[in-house]
Chains A and B, each alone.
Chain A
Amino acid sequence: MTALPIILISLVAAALLAAIRNYRLSANLNVLASLVSFLCAIGLLVSRPANNQYLLIDDLNIVFILLNTFVGFTTSVFSASYIAHELETGRLTPGYLRFYHAMFQLMLLGMNLALLANNIGLMWVAVELATLTTVVMVGIYRTHEAIEAAWKYFILGSVGIALALFGTILVYLAARPVVGASMDAMVWTSLLAHARGFDPALLNIAFVFLLLGYGTKVGLAPMHAWLPDAHAEGPTPISAVLSGLLLNVALYALLRFKLLLSANPGAIAPGPLMIGLGLLSLIFAGFMLYRRRDIKRMFAFSSIEHMGIIVFAFGMAGPLGNFAGLLQMTMHSLTKSAIFFSVGHVAQVKGTQRIADMGGLTETHPVLGWALVASVLAIAGLPPFGVFTSEFLVVSSSFARAPLLAVLVVFGLLVSFGALLWRITGVAFGEPRGPTGPVKASYLPIFAHLSLVLIAGIWLPGPLVTWFQHVAALLG
């Protein structure tokens, strides 16, 4: 068993999907390919292949890969029903759909490759691939707004990527005197083994560039400007993937480099930088939530807020901080993509994304409306959902070590809590507003995600806890 099938499946599927004209067939094939990728990822749990110079499977990235392939699979199920509606309304033509499906698989390929890469150069190329494919997807409607969003994402993402490459080169320079001028100086496993002897000053500067570069892709304030537009103007399955997966991939890259710095006694502690950026994103996004009038844009800001919490938790580090960060990341991915699934159907029924034009959803579309309410309550951090557990862990673990910072986190959480609740009452309750036509929604992905989040909130399975604890210990 090797990790290669996950990559190859997406590649083959992308080639096939680009050729198939029948959209029902290609939507099904897309689901099938994503399902097989997910099954392969589960297979990695059972038997773990040996690492080589290019691919790596360890306890850290397998969490990310499982989450990535699972949400990729559920999103492809949602996407199948979503695009059927887009075809009916003529927003997408069959030609574009072929392109869309091929890009969907290429995007999954880019993200999975970035997670699997054992090589900082390969990882960079994979993140670039994921960026380019998502840029194209964001602009696929070709409206003025979509093109502007894609362009903005493109330029900011490219600058981020260029800075990340500069940081990658600096890491190589730091490694070269110790590891030698060979491929090993770019391989994670050997970098980590030798990190103790690297020049700390060079490593510090490299990390600043990597934090700015990959941090742009994580959506940390003040480099977040691309994120709301890209989420709001692209097709909703892409918004779900951006929030649920792509941000995690960039975060994973940061965590890897953070590990290198922690292994070097002379380097700066990366924690305070991450704590600062995390808190800034959390509080800034919390206030920005109040002024949102577009529903997808609002949840995009909520993603910035949650990435802030996650980066904060990983910055606090320690077994408890890392555990909380991992759990928060998993819960956020599941919940946020469930929200985008329901929001996608809602926006299709209403024919708009303006919050002011939506109302009384629980009356007109009870299942969809209540699913949206439940997932928004979950993301706002109310019990019994899993996000509550992880946010509680973040806050309680930081209270023990830095009470002042914990107060700031609680403040940010409360600010965004208020905004989300205020907005969702308008959308879900009261007088029905906007069109109330029937909806052909695929509820399976929404409820699959929600029930996972609910189960995690009530009872975290023992093996999962041990596993996450183990990874948290690895992260230092």
Chain B
Amino acid sequence: MPHLDFDIAHMLAGMLVLASFMMLYQDRLYALLRVLALHAFVLACAVAWQARIQDAPGLYVTAVIALGFKAILAPWALHRIVVRLGIHREIETVVGIGVTMLAGMFLVALSLKVMLPVTAHAEPVAREDIALALSVVLIGLLVMVTRRNAVSQVVGFLSLENGVDLAAAGAQGMPLVVELSVAFSVLIAFIVTGIFLFRIRERFDTVDLQALDRFRGERG
């Protein structure tokens, strides 16, 4: 029943968008990390489903990476980092939650408007998946822009990356998907260890202009 196959694929992709929205209204770091784990879990399900309907066993590897690395390891490591570095548990947002949610809805509408007509000739699975994946990417960017704190920016980046993964899984028969997702995981591992090694507590930008000048190394 190919119809049901498509419906489930679309439902999983839609759930990923919903999980992205859940990130937008979190104001506690731990809750945000739990949403990140959920996000990656939904991604793992979506990719595994794609592996099944496309009959592409390689994608199961991507799904396992998503589950083990992104849904369990990365949130756990970030959690440890928040505890060890004593980072503020509240998330400082640049604009209000309501405005961010509205912006998120606008971004979803935008990506559907842009991608659906363009992919009209592609297969139905690829079509909606790419449009929803673009929404996830854009909302990920929105999270990065509207959060001031380094850990929540990284969470935004990871969700953005999940969106790219969804697009790669949805592009039927794409070669090198597994290799690309491994390469991407290296990047994520770098970022997560980077926060810890560099002891980045907060984002560097600040309203204090003097501090900004010092960061730029351009005093006097």
* Smallest Cβ-Cβ distance to B204: which chain A residue: A148
Q: Contact residue range for chain B?
A: 35 or more
* B119 in contact with A165 (CB, 8 Å): no
* A176 in contact with B167 (CB, 8 Å): no
* A139 in contact with B198 (CB, 8 Å): yes
Given contacts A121-B176, A125-B183, contact A159 B141 (CB under 8 A): yes
Q: Is the interface of B mostly helix, strand, loop or mixed?
A: helix
CA distance A181 to B133 in the complex (A): 20
**Chain A residues positioned under 8 Å from B122 (CB to CB):** 173, 177, 199, 202
* Smallest Cβ-Cβ distance to B161: which chain A residue: A162
CA distance A182 to B175 in the complex (A): 6
Does residue A8 face the partner (Cβ distance < 8 Å to B)? no
Given contacts A159-B144, A173-B171, A233-B217, contact A121 B180 (CB under 8 A): yes
Closest CB in chain B relative to A401 CB, distance in Å: 31
Given contacts A124-B180, A145-B217, A202-B118, contact A162 B137 (CB under 8 A): yes
* A292 in contact with B173 (CB, 8 Å): no
* A173 in contact with B173 (CB, 8 Å): no
Does residue A370 face the partner (Cβ distance < 8 Å to B)? no
* Smallest Cβ-Cβ distance to B200: which chain A residue: A151
* Smallest Cβ-Cβ distance to B188: which chain A residue: A158
**Chain B residues positioned under 8 Å from A87 (CB to CB):** none
**Chain B residues positioned under 8 Å from A159 (CB to CB):** 141, 144, 157, 160
Given contacts A176-B171, A292-B218, A293-B220, contact A205 B118 (CB under 8 A): yes
Residues facing A in B153-177 (CB within 8 A) are: 153, 157, 160-161, 163-164, 167-168, 171-176
* A205 in contact with B167 (CB, 8 Å): no
* A151 in contact with B176 (CB, 8 Å): no
Closest CB in chain A relative to B3 CB, distance in Å: 22
* B175 in contact with A185 (CB, 8 Å): yes
Does residue A172 face the partner (Cβ distance < 8 Å to B)? yes
Q: Mark B200-219, 1 if CB is under 8 A from A, else 0.
A: 10001000000000011111
Does residue B194 face the partner (Cβ distance < 8 Å to A)? yes
Residues facing B in A114-156 (CB within 8 A) are: 119, 121-122, 124-125, 128, 132, 135, 139, 144-145, 147-148, 150-152, 154-155
**Chain A residues positioned under 8 Å from B190 (CB to CB):** 132, 135, 154
Does residue A356 face the partner (Cβ distance < 8 Å to B)? yes
Q: Which of A128, A155, A173, A182 contacts B119 (CB 8 A)?
A: A173
CA distance A172 to B174 in the complex (A): 7
**Chain A residues positioned under 8 Å from B174 (CB to CB):** 169, 172, 176, 181, 185-186
* Smallest Cβ-Cβ distance to B172: which chain A residue: A181
**Chain A residues positioned under 8 Å from B7 (CB to CB):** none
Given contacts A152-B204, A166-B164, A169-B171, contact A147 B176 (CB under 8 A): no
* A128 in contact with B171 (CB, 8 Å): no
Closest CB in chain A relative to B137 CB, distance in Å: 6
Closest CB in chain B relative to A187 CB, distance in Å: 9
* A297 in contact with B141 (CB, 8 Å): no
Does residue B94 face the partner (Cβ distance < 8 Å to A)? no
Given contacts A152-B204, A159-B157, A201-B118, contact A165 B130 (CB under 8 A): no
* B115 in contact with A205 (CB, 8 Å): yes
* A165 in contact with B164 (CB, 8 Å): yes
Does residue B67 face the partner (Cβ distance < 8 Å to A)? no
Does residue A229 face the partner (Cβ distance < 8 Å to B)? yes
* A165 in contact with B217 (CB, 8 Å): no
* Smallest Cβ-Cβ distance to B127: which chain A residue: A173
**Chain B residues positioned under 8 Å from A169 (CB to CB):** 130, 164, 167-168, 171, 174
Does residue B59 face the partner (Cβ distance < 8 Å to A)? no
**Chain B residues positioned under 8 Å from A356 (CB to CB):** 220
* B194 in contact with A151 (CB, 8 Å): yes
CA distance A232 to B176 in the complex (A): 36
Does residue B184 face the partner (Cβ distance < 8 Å to A)? yes
Given contacts A139-B198, A159-B141, A181-B172, contact A125 B218 (CB under 8 A): no
Does residue B84 face the partner (Cβ distance < 8 Å to A)? no
**Chain A residues positioned under 8 Å from B184 (CB to CB):** 128, 165
Does residue B117 face the partner (Cβ distance < 8 Å to A)? yes
Does residue A428 face the partner (Cβ distance < 8 Å to B)? no
* B175 in contact with A121 (CB, 8 Å): yes
* A177 in contact with B217 (CB, 8 Å): no
Does residue A363 face the partner (Cβ distance < 8 Å to B)? no
CA distance A233 to B184 in the complex (A): 26
Does residue A161 face the partner (Cβ distance < 8 Å to B)? yes
The chain B residues found within 8 Å of chain A, CB to CB, are 114-115, 117-119, 121-122, 126, 130, 133-134, 137, 141, 144, 150, 153, 157, 160-161, 163-164, 167-168, 171-176, 179-180, 183-184, 186-187, 190-191, 194, 198, 200, 204, 215-220
Apart from A166-B163, A172-B171, what 19 extra A-B contacts exist at CB < 8 Å?
A121-B180, A145-B217, A148-B204, A148-B215, A159-B160, A162-B161, A162-B164, A163-B137, A169-B164, A169-B168, A177-B121, A177-B122, A183-B175, A186-B175, A186-B176, A202-B122, A205-B115, A205-B118, A297-B217
The chain A residues found within 8 Å of chain B, CB to CB, are 119, 121-122, 124-125, 128, 132, 135, 139, 144-145, 147-148, 150-152, 154-155, 158-159, 161-163, 165-166, 169-170, 172-173, 176-177, 181-183, 185-186, 199, 201-202, 204-205, 229, 232-233, 292-294, 297, 353-354, 356
25 contacts between A and B (CB under 8 A): A121-B180, A122-B176, A124-B180, A128-B184, A139-B198, A147-B198, A151-B204, A155-B144, A162-B160, A165-B168, A166-B137, A166-B164, A169-B164, A169-B167, A170-B130, A173-B122, A186-B175, A199-B118, A199-B122, A202-B118, A229-B216, A292-B218, A294-B216, A294-B218, A297-B218
